[in-house]
């Protein structure tokens, strides 16, 4: 299994981060790599997110796990490789939080897909914090 984890610390309210995450159709406002996106149901376990990255084909992500206001996990099968991305808010005390993206890829193309999907996580996290705090 190939894994990576990226994080950013912030004073942006966790509720603002959560609101940005659950507004799936709004993701392109802060994630420049998304051309189109559609939430096919409520933001809940089992719901599919159809995401079209710029210049690529649509990928179906399924919300695999969720802790209201704290984390969600999406999964995608990319040509036989399972890609799981965990999005988590860690409260650090005071008004500080850490926003974490952890990606796990397992399957025949994990060494190619994992780095490709996570290459922009630092930029995405920074843009999310700017958007949610603004």
Tens of each residue's pLDDT in the chain, 134 residues: 999 999 999 999 999 999 999 999 999 999 999 999 999 999 999 999 999 999 999 999 999 999 999 999 999 999 999 999 999 999 999 899 999 999 999 999 999 999 999 999 999 999 999 999 96
Domain encompassing residue 87? 2-133
User: Structurally, how many domains does the chain consist of?
Assistant: 1
Secondary structure element (H or E) that encloses residue 54, with its range? none
Q: Residue ranges of the alpha helices (H) in the chain? A: 14-22, 110-118, 121-133
Instruction: Give the span between the Cα atoms of 103 and 117, in whole angstroms.
Output: 8
- Tokens representing 113 are 């897909």
Considering the entire predicted model, what is its pTM? 0.94
The CATH number of the domain holding residue 106 is 3.30.530.20
């Amino acid at each position: 299994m190939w894994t990576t984890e990226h994080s950013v610390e912030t004073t942006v309210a966790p509720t603002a981060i959560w609101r940005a995450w659950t507004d799936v159709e709004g993701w392109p406002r802060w994630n420049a790599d998304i051309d189109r996106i559609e939430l096919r149901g409520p933001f809940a376990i089992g719901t599919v997110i159809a995401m079209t990255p710029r210049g690529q084909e649509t990928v179906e992500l399924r919300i695999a796990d969720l802790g209201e206001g704290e984390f969600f996990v999406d999964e995608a099968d990319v040509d036989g490789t399972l890609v799981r991305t965990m999005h988590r808010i860690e409260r650090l005390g005071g008004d500080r939080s850490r926003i974490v993206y952890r990606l796990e890829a397992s399957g025949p193309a994990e060494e190619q897909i994992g780095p490709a999907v996570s290459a922009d996580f630092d930029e995405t996290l920074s843009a999310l914090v700017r958007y949610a705090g603004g």
